Amino acid sequence: MLGQSEQGIIKRMNGRIRTNRILKGLFFLATTFALVFLVLLFYRVLTQGIGYLNWSYITSFPAPYPEEAGIWPGIVGSIYMMVIVAIVSVIIGVSTAIYLEEYASKNKFTDFIRVNIQNLAGVPSIVFGLLGLTFFVYMFNFGYTLIAGGLTMALLILPVIVVAAQEAIRSVPSEIKEASYGMGASKLQTIGRVILPASIPGILTGTIIALSRAIGETAPLIIVGAATAIYTLPDSVLAKYTVMPIQVYKWTSRPQEEWQFVAGAGIIVLLVVLLLMNSIAVLIRNKYQRRL
């Protein structure tokens, strides 16, 4: 027979177990909130936009009537911009990472660069827009052009690329670096023949993720003057341009409901592009993860 106190303990024990179960459910619900939100968002965008999404929408220029409006200059502009951003930010970002990981001695200056990159990553994107406005648009006199937008965007995602490349380079086992130096390879040869090839999957994954952030960015491009509607495609880096998210923003901010459907169609296109980019990143990650 159980005594009073033991019964009390069991009662309390059951209570504690029940609390645990309830809390677990609560935590789970909170976690699924994100999922629900995402599903609603996708559902909403699809149902609103699908009616306006057709071939002519993709291949048309903007128009004063919702039925005729298209996102073609946005698609082309986004692609051109990504090419500029990728070239500039990968060259500078990977070089920075190589410098920090392989050349820099541990002194105040390198610490400063590291902290600086960390802080840059936390600067709001719109502030980068102001930077681009002062330097690229006015001081370098590029005006509201593709190159001004591309350079601004490249600086914006630079910290992401540097950090991803640093991680990729750091994850190259020191044993194989030693093997290379042990064969009499120079530093540059070791970097070029061993370290970079081994870290390319990581760098590529990081770059694609950074670019997919850039392709959805809107605010800084508004500041450096991406056009809201253009009727010819940019023919040089010094041409006016627009990008997908800017077109979406412009359509969203019109009061008539039809324009929101047009915006919805634009979002579908944007999300499909993002999905493609992220799938490529995941594929690369999975393919090479086993290697090292």
Q: How many chain residues interact with another protein (CB under 8 A)?
A: 106
**60 touches another protein by CB under 8 A:** no
Token digits for 245? 């998210």
Q: How far is the CB of 14 from another protein (least distance, A)?
A: 11
User: 54 vs 95, which CB is nearer to another protein?
Assistant: 95
- Residues numbered 82 to 121 that lie near another protein (CB under 8 A) are 91-93, 95-96, 98-100, 103-106, 112-113, 115-120
**143 touches another protein by CB under 8 A:** no
End-to-end CA distance of the chain: 62
Q: How far is the CB of 186 from another protein (least distance, A)?
A: 6
Number of residues in the chain: 292
Indicate the residue type of 243. V
Q: Which of 80, 128, 142, 241 binds another protein (CB under 8 A)?
A: 128
Quick check: helix, strand or coil at residue 289?
helix
CB 145 within 8 A of CB 80: no
CB 231 within 8 A of CB 245: no
Nearest to 205 by CA among 101, 96, 291, 280: 280
Q: Given the rule CB under 8 A, which of 53-61, 77-85, 234-242, 262-270 is the region that contacts another protein?
A: 262-270
User: 235 vs 241, which CB is nearer to another protein?
Assistant: 241
User: 11 vs 16, which CB is nearer to another protein?
Assistant: 16
User: What count of other Cβ atoms lies within 10 Å of the Cβ of residue 274?
Assistant: 15
* Cα separation, 196 vs 190, whole angstroms: 9
Residue 136 gets which letter from DSSP? I
User: 183 vs 235, which CB is nearer to another protein?
Assistant: 183
- Residues numbered 164 to 193 that lie near another protein (CB under 8 A) are 173, 175-176, 178-189, 193
User: 174 vs 236, which CB is nearer to another protein?
Assistant: 174
CB 149 within 8 A of CB 131: no
Contacts 24+ apart (CB under 8 A), 38-44: 42/271, 44/264
The alpha carbon torsion through 91, 152, 134, 100 (nearest 10 deg) reads: -40
Q: How far is the CB of 236 from another protein (least distance, A)?
A: 23
User: 60 vs 114, which CB is nearer to another protein?
Assistant: 114
Token digits for 78? 């986004």
Q: How far is the CB of 215 from another protein (least distance, A)?
A: 8
- Residues numbered 4 to 43 that lie near another protein (CB under 8 A) are 16-17, 19-20, 23-24, 26-31, 33-35, 37-38, 40-41
CB 77 within 8 A of CB 243: yes
Q: How far is the CB of 123 from another protein (least distance, A)?
A: 7
Rg over CA atoms, the chain: 25
User: 104 vs 280, which CB is nearer to another protein?
Assistant: 104
User: 114 vs 235, which CB is nearer to another protein?
Assistant: 114
CB 157 within 8 A of CB 245: no
Q: How far is the CB of 169 from another protein (least distance, A)?
A: 12
